[in-house]
Amino acid sequence: MFASDANSIEMTRAATTTLAGTSGRVERMDIEQFSAPAHTFDLIISRLALHYVDDLDAVVSACWRSLSPGGRLVITVVHPVITSHDALRTTNEARTNWVVDDYFHTGARQRNWMDNTVTWYHRTIEDYITALTQADFAITSLRECAPRHDRFDGDTAEFARRQRVPLFLLLAGSRA
């Protein structure tokens, strides 16, 4: 079992626990193989997964098909500023800068992430918006998830460091 598989299993357990007593359900599957009957869901959430997907258009289209009219898709990905930077590090100190490189050169990029080599698919913000709109989603939200001071337990230095670069991109769309 790969570390990512173990993490996926643990996340599935946590989500199942969170949804206990509700009509919600959790299904663990390969996102690139996602398929569900038309109008199955009212809400689909993809949390920090789509930057691992090669064929984003196919996944977004599959989500659109499986949503009921008025259904919503909410996604978060690692911000394109992060997926476009040179990830090689020569120190264990907290990063204080990010060098954006080849931002408009999209595609697979190897990264050292949590002691594993992973492939992130770098896309621009425009690429994500285009994928959603070409699948006929109406964009309802675009957020770059600025850090909130109240989440840093008074650690003003860490809060200031986290304000330097956006870490996440959140997009939401609805099916007409």
Distance CA 84, CA 103 (A): 5
Task: Note whether 142 and 109 are same-domain residues.
Answer: yes
Task: Note whether 109 and 142 are same-domain residues.
Answer: yes
Task: Note whether 21 and 76 are same-domain residues.
Answer: no
Task: Note whether 9 and 44 are same-domain residues.
Answer: no
CATH code for the domain of 114: 3.40.50.150
pLDDT of residue 86: 62
Asked if residue 101 lies in contact with residue 84, where contact means CB atoms within 8 angstroms, the answer is yes
Task: Note whether 145 and 95 are same-domain residues.
Answer: yes
The number of domains in the chain is 2
DSSP string over 43-89: EEEEES-GGG-S-HHHHHHHHHHHEEEEEEEEEEEE-HHHHTB----
The set of residues, in sequence order, having a beta carbon less than 8 Å from that of 143 and lying 6+ positions away, is: 169, 170, 171
Among 28-37, 51-60, 70-79, 138-147, name the one with the lowest average pLDDT: 28-37
Burial class (CB in 10 A: 0-12, 13-18, 19+), 21: exposed
Query: What band does 113 get if pLDDT is binned at 50, 70 and 90?
Result: confident
Task: Note whether 99 and 145 are same-domain residues.
Answer: yes
* Terminal CA-CA length for the chain: 40
Task: Note whether 1 and 46 are same-domain residues.
Answer: no
Task: Note whether 156 and 133 are same-domain residues.
Answer: yes
Give 122-137 pLDDT, tens digit per residue: 999 999 999 999 999 9
Domain of residue 40, residue span = 34-175
Task: Note whether 55 and 100 are same-domain residues.
Answer: yes
pLDDT of residue 3: 45
Structural tokens at position 111? 């990264």
Task: Note whether 45 and 122 are same-domain residues.
Answer: yes
Q: Which of 19-23, 69-73, 151-155 has the highest mean pLDDT?
A: 69-73
Query: What band does 176 get if pLDDT is binned at 50, 70 and 90?
Result: confident
Question: Torsion angle of alpha carbons 101, 102, 107, 113, nearest 10°?
Answer: -10
Give 41-87 pLDDT, tens digit per residue: 999 999 899 999 999 999 999 999 999 999 999 999 999 998 887 65
Asked if residue 31 lies in contact with residue 49, where contact means CB atoms within 8 angstroms, the answer is yes
Task: Note whether 16 and 99 are same-domain residues.
Answer: no
pTM, two decimal places: 0.84
Mean pLDDT of the chain: 88
pLDDT at 1 over 70: no
Task: Note whether 96 and 155 are same-domain residues.
Answer: yes
Distance CA 63, CA 57 (A): 10
- The single-letter DSSP state of residue 132 is H
Query: What band does 2 get if pLDDT is binned at 50, 70 and 90?
Result: very low
Q: 126 vs 49, 111, 130, 145, CA distance in Å?
A: 18, 22, 6, 17
